[in-house]
A and B are shown apart, each in its own frame.
Chain A
């Protein structure tokens, strides 16, 4: 399969990428790992006139902690997130999700920023970042802004990015002591998109739940937050009953549809079970 013709531009810096986006606007797409964009172009679902390749922009990749947050560059490849000791040590929801994204060869090339900008409701990182309360750092030639992940993910394949904007990085608040998290994913085979995915982050305070973050994958038009379940948990005792109730609330929030991966009813059931299990695992991690 051959994509439609396009002009290829290699950006060596963020400024160069932004200037190309200014120049070509809506007719340009940013090429990161290409693991979603190139298949879309081959299937002619996308036919941009210009591709701005940001692979050479070294400053867009990297993982570090600074000023109370974990900073992940948008061009950071999945394999580097899988291998990151920093993430393994302090960010269990990210650490469990990363090896479940696609397959090892796709992870060698695919990037977290590319995955988020693609905004597939079956993408894994959107849910994790919702659970973690992440901020997206967005640049254009006129400046920088941060957007909460809740507002960044607008709809299926749609983000809050303007045509002249580039996602440069992700900021995840540094988790405190007595916090835990995990990501549970049901897939038919390695490399498949999630049938259902659930990200959970739990912050305990004096024996009760301080903050609970729950993000849902592949059960609606975008990754979204199980807000009712989160509210019910805030301040609650971490009992089996409270976790089971959170599972039921999250299942009510979910908007799955019947497809080749399962019926809506089945997916709703999996959400309920995964939220309950995820909360139990997160609580163990917080101990």
Chain B
């Protein structure tokens, strides 16, 4: 089946088998191996990508369902100016050890910060409760997402000083 999916801002038109899962389309067809396959049963969240602005588990969706849609993978977080604030914060706060869950964690974190730039500990833990990490004990992941929120807020202030009110 012919599909066209915009992945990280680039339109990709391909012929795929209807049973091809979105995660395999990303990893095998497009070579974007930042999206990981963990449990393969929609429990662990390692395969999380953004569909539009919403985190979804790409191991539990067919590529044909993304036809006409926009997908962001971890590769799409990095912009021309370098690392996305959430990537920088995971590095700074040691929000990862083995790195396997990290792409999913960062995408869920980025989606959370879009809605709520100053999440509490509970907000973050709630948001990442569909993502399993076996290394960190989550402490530094929570810190990293909050730090990214603060960095994004101060970036926004620098970019638009006129928007700051007393």
A residues neighboring B (CB under 8 Å) = 1-8, 10, 31, 34-35, 38-39, 41-42, 51, 53, 55, 102-106, 108-109, 190-191
Contact = CB atoms under 8 A, between A and B. Distances in A.
B1 A109 contact: no
Given A105-B56, A106-B42, A191-B130, A7 B18 contact: yes
Given A34-B60, A34-B61, A105-B108, A8 B55 contact: no
Interface in B1-46: 1, 17-19, 21, 40-43, 45
Contacts of B56: 105, 108-109
Contacts of A109: 56-57, 60-61
Contacts of A10: 64
B97 interface: no
Contacts, number: 72
B19 A5 contact: yes
Nearest to B107: A105
27 contacts: A3-B19, A5-B17, A5-B18, A8-B62, A35-B60, A38-B60, A38-B61, A39-B60, A42-B21, A103-B45, A103-B129, A104-B127, A104-B129, A104-B130, A105-B55, A105-B57, A105-B108, A105-B130, A106-B42, A106-B57, A108-B55, A109-B56, A109-B57, A109-B61, A190-B129, A191-B43, A191-B129
B73 interface: no
Contacts of B18: 5-8, 51
Interface in B120-153: 126-127, 129-131
Nearest to A103: B130
Given A6-B19, A39-B42, A51-B18, A190 B130 contact: yes
Interface of B: 1, 17-19, 21, 40-43, 45, 48, 54-57, 60-62, 64-65, 108, 126-127, 129-131
The 6 A-B residue pairs with the shortest CB-CB distance in the complex, in nearest-first order? A103-B130, A8-B18, A105-B130, A190-B129, A3-B19, A38-B60
- Max count, chain A CB within 10 A of own CB: residue among B40, B57, B108: B57
A106 B61 contact: no
B28 to A, nearest CB: 11
B64 A8 contact: yes
Contact of B40 (A31, A42, A55): A42
A69 to B, nearest CB: 29
B64 A106 contact: no
Nearest to B43: A191
Nearest to B104: A105
A57 B139 CA distance: 41
B65 A39 contact: no
A53 B63 CA distance: 13
B52 to A, nearest CB: 10
B7 to A, nearest CB: 18
A46 B43 CA distance: 19
B1 A8 contact: yes
A4 B18 CA distance: 10
A4 B17 CA distance: 11
Nearest to A105: B130
Contact of A105 (B1, B41, B131): B131
Contact of B42 (A4, A5, A8, A35): A35
Contacts of B42: 35, 38-39, 106
